[in-house]
Amino acid sequence: MARLKTIRLGKFKFTFKNFTEFILLYMGIYLLGRYKFSTEKEDPIIIDCGSHIGISILSFKGQCPKSKIIGFEPNLETFKILERNVKQNNLRDVELINAVVGNKEGSIDFYINMKDSWSWDNSILKTWSIKNEFKKVKAKSVRLSKYLNREVDLLKLNIEGSEGLVMKEITSKLKNVKEIYLHYHSRSNNQSNNLDEIFKILDRNSYIYTIKQLRGFGILKTVTKSTINKRGQYFLFIHAKRKQND
């Protein structure tokens, strides 16, 4: 593992291995409020798929200190940093699972970005960004649906191109999920990640949602279904809330 760095920002300590990557993630989550979450519950249930090193989990705990969180991160090296960030901040009611969320139980091929010390873009797909600079390993795969048998206040999906596959797998359990933050990663050769099908699943399950598209320099611009720029590879951030009384 690359040499780790630890800094304190506000009330939390953050350990990471790549400062630029950390700052980009921290700015998006903390300064831009990408996962801003409000609830009347004192102890909401949050499921975080693609927890990475835990910046999102620390953000959720900052907003809702008594929240109960399950976090999934398949990359073992990243998972160890995630565990450290949870432990060194004395977070309670956080369960961490070293696994891919998918549509089956068992073992699956997983591709790890080997470029420099960056730790994002790890996926069950060979993504455009890591190209040939990857290591293929075996990772544990679990069905997300089995974790949605109770009311879930917030589900975060940042799973590098597998969101369509997982949304199909959990369709019958979405009645239990109040709010979703979904990162959509376009892949020209990934037929399982159909954006229109994701929107249909959200519509059928009574969600209203906003769509933002990543532009240059990390800026997100609000778009509609008809104004999404689908040229080349693109990234969307979808925030969905179940309609009241549904």
CATH code of the domain in which 65 resides: 3.40.50.150
Q: Do the domain assignments include residue 127?
A: no
Q: What are the percentages of helix, strand and coil residues in the chain, rounded to 5?
A: 30, 30, 40
pLDDT at 38 (0 to 100): 87
Q: Do the domain assignments include residue 160?
A: yes
Question: For the packed helices 76-88 and 55-63, what is the interaxial angle rounded to 10 degrees?
Answer: 30
Q: Do the domain assignments include residue 226?
A: yes
pLDDT at 58 (0 to 100): 98
Q: What is the spatial distance between Cα 96 and Cα 83, in angstroms, rounded to a whole number?
A: 7
Tokens linked to 163: 């969101």
Q: Do the domain assignments include residue 131?
A: no
Q: Do the domain assignments include residue 177?
A: yes
Q: Do the domain assignments include residue 36?
A: yes
Positions of the chain with pLDDT under 70 = 1-2, 115-121, 124-132, 187-192, 217-218, 245-246
Query: Other C-beta atoms within 10 Å of 191: how many?
Result: 8
Q: Do the domain assignments include residue 122?
A: no
Backbone angles phi, psi at 214, to 5 degrees: -75, 125
Query: Other C-beta atoms within 10 Å of 72: how many?
Result: 25
Domain carrying residue 220: 5-100+144-242
User: How many structural domains does the chain have?
Assistant: 1
Helix or strand or coil: residue 137?
Answer: strand
pLDDT at 128 (0 to 100): 47
Q: What is the spatial distance between Cα 42 and Cα 67, in angstroms, rounded to a whole number?
A: 7
Q: What is the spatial distance between Cα 182 and Cα 235, in angstroms, rounded to a whole number?
A: 11
Q: What is the spatial distance between Cα 50 and Cα 43, in angstroms, rounded to a whole number?
A: 21
Q: What is the spatial distance between Cα 16 and Cα 85, in angstroms, rounded to a whole number?
A: 9
What is the length of the chain?
Answer: 246
φ/ψ bin of 111: left (φ > 0), alpha (ψ from -120 to 50), beta (otherwise): beta
Q: Within a 13 Å sphere around the CA of 190, how many CA atoms are in the beta-carbon half?
A: 23
- Sheet with strand 134-143: strands edge to edge: 100-102, 134-143, 106-113
Distances (CA, A) of 181 to 11, 118, 192, 198: 24, 23, 19, 13
Q: Do the domain assignments include residue 12?
A: yes
